[in-house]
Amino acid sequence: MRKRVSRALLGSAILSLATLGLPVVATAGPTTQTAGSERAVTDIIPAPVEAKADARANFWLSPATVIKADHGATQVADYLRDRLKPATGYPLPVLSHSFGLPAISLELGHADARVGKEGYTLKVAKNGVTLKANTADGLFLGVQSLRQLLPSAIDAKTVQHRLWTVAGGSVLDYPRFGYRGAMLDVARHFFNPDQVKTYIDQIAQYKINTLHLHLSDDQGWRIEIKSWPRLTSFGGQTAVGGGKGGFYTQEQYKDLVKYAASRHITVIPEIDMPGHTNAAQSSYAELNCDKKAVPVRTDTEVGYSSLCINDPLTYKFVDDVFRELAAITPGKYIHIGGDEAHATKPEDYLTFQSKVQPIAAKYGKYISGWDEIVKAKPGATAIPQFWDTVDDKPEVAAAAARGNKILFSPANKAYLDMKYTDSSPLGQDWAGLVEVKDAYDWDPATYLKGVTESQVAGIEAPLWSETLVTNDDLEYMAFPRLPGHAEIGWSPKATHNWDTYRLRLAKQAPRWGVQGIDFYRSPQVGWK
């Protein structure tokens, strides 16, 4: 039956060729860059470990092209077909054999040993494209590079009548750091599931592999906890400025996790504590030491809220939240916040951390948290997230020396909600103004005194939403800075050069235009 279906699809492809008057042969068409390719393999973002362009080896995508997928590669193959089909109108059947037709081949388990779990090799030749990886993750990330070798119009949602040339050459690629993240604050302003899925697709194309969702804060609680229903029925109805709130049911959250997984992204949920808890404490009076509910807050002040550290009910609350959240989160980590707990006494903060961290372990999860958690000397599996603007923080360096891998998100470099300039219509400036070059010109391996490359987990670009309400707002603040953060996390240090990066970045603009991304046209970049 499979062969019968495959041959029917092939027949359709061949008929399409005949209808267009094109030759039914397994070779490429025009072989120069002028045939429709807008980029070379050396233009890929993030920059590959090795890339060798060869304009004589361009591959011509045609109605006869098939996607050949090894066993275990069909999910990535289906994703690739779904990305290419709308603009080309070609059938692009996913098959286990190419039957002599021009093919994009996805080969699993046959890659160069150097590529590891997330790397890949890519070869574009006249007669076909071959992508090899040791895992489906590697194939998916290689597909993101392949997409950049096609004309920007490939991302159109309707058929575009034009030639489709894949830039010729070869790529060897694998990541510098294992953790390459983006954080989305859905607590200050709520973003519905479709909006989050849009952001997932946008970050996936730059090899981001982790999405950190900031699910609770003073202004809103965004995840259904069935044992504490008022967290969402009451605490989920507010937002900064008194705007419309919202929350994810557990089914919606599971669907988001599944969607992210289809883009090979792991979701890390954050429940911020013991501060940033006003939404919870306004929902349940018993979470306050005086057993009186606090007023709802929709301003942007920080540091005033704290759970009642010496009340056993606090830890029943944390246990219930972690139990329900762990059950719907397949990833290894839960982020426990821990920042700006100014209303919690230092000794109470340590008490809280000592009790809360084992609760996560009870449900099979490791913890991550803002770098303040290092005060409690968490176990080596914990990932402290450095968010400060200083370059010397001895307690974080001490945590690294104890074995904790440090995740880098310095606010004056990696916070995507910082204004670009004084005249930026959105964003904040408490950590400084962060133009595109500022966001790109730093290295997590040398940023913080006492923390070396081997002690770095990776990089995460947080996007806080105090001033952001729509997807256009998110896009304007994330682009064009996010691709630079992705490159810092993925590419070898040797490739890191602003003068060459800005040229590659400029070539992304037409693609963002087709995708409808509302980006900031920094004067530092000569946009195409």
Q: Known catalytic residues?
A: 340
Report how far residue 456's alpha carbon sits from residue 443's, in angstroms, rounded to the nearest whole number: 11
Among 216, 224, 213, 220, smallest CA distance to 251 is for: 224
Helix axes 481-490, 193-204, angle to 10 degrees: 50
Enter the tokens of residue 23: 């030759």
By three-state DSSP, how is residue 207 classified?
Answer: coil
Report how far residue 380's alpha carbon sits from residue 235's, in angstroms, rounded to the nearest whole number: 34
Report how far residue 142's alpha carbon sits from residue 174's, in angstroms, rounded to the nearest whole number: 9
Overall residue count recorded for the chain in this entry:
528
Is residue 67 within 8 A of residue 107, CB to CB? The reply is: no
Is residue 389 within 8 A of residue 412, CB to CB? The reply is: yes
Whose tokens are 């489709």? That residue is 164
C-beta neighbour count of 71 within 10 angstroms? 8
Cα end-to-end distance, the chain, whole Å: 48
How distant, in Å, are the alpha carbons of 339, 347, 353, 372 from that of 275? 7, 14, 12, 12
192 Cβ neighbours under 8 A, 6+ residues apart: 246
The answer to whether the Cα torsion of 223, 226, 230, 233 is positive or negative is: positive
Report how far residue 315's alpha carbon sits from residue 522's, in angstroms, rounded to the nearest whole number: 48
Report how far residue 33's alpha carbon sits from residue 24's, in angstroms, rounded to the nearest whole number: 22
- E strand segments, 200-285: 210-214, 216-217, 220-221, 266-273
HSE value, Cβ hemisphere, 13 Å, CA-based, for 260: 28
Report how far residue 148's alpha carbon sits from residue 506's, in angstroms, rounded to the nearest whole number: 13
C-beta neighbour count of 32 within 10 angstroms? 12
The distance of Cα 404 from the centroid of its chain, to the nearest Å, equals: 22
Whose tokens are 């604050």? That residue is 185
Is residue 428 within 8 A of residue 467, CB to CB? The reply is: yes
Can you spell out the DSSP letters for 396-456? HHHHHHHTPPEEE--HHHH-TTB-SSTT-SS-B-TT----HHHHHS--TTTSSTT--GGGE
C-beta neighbour count of 234 within 10 angstroms? 18
Is residue 86 within 8 A of residue 201, CB to CB? The reply is: no
For residue 384, what are the β-bridge partners?
369
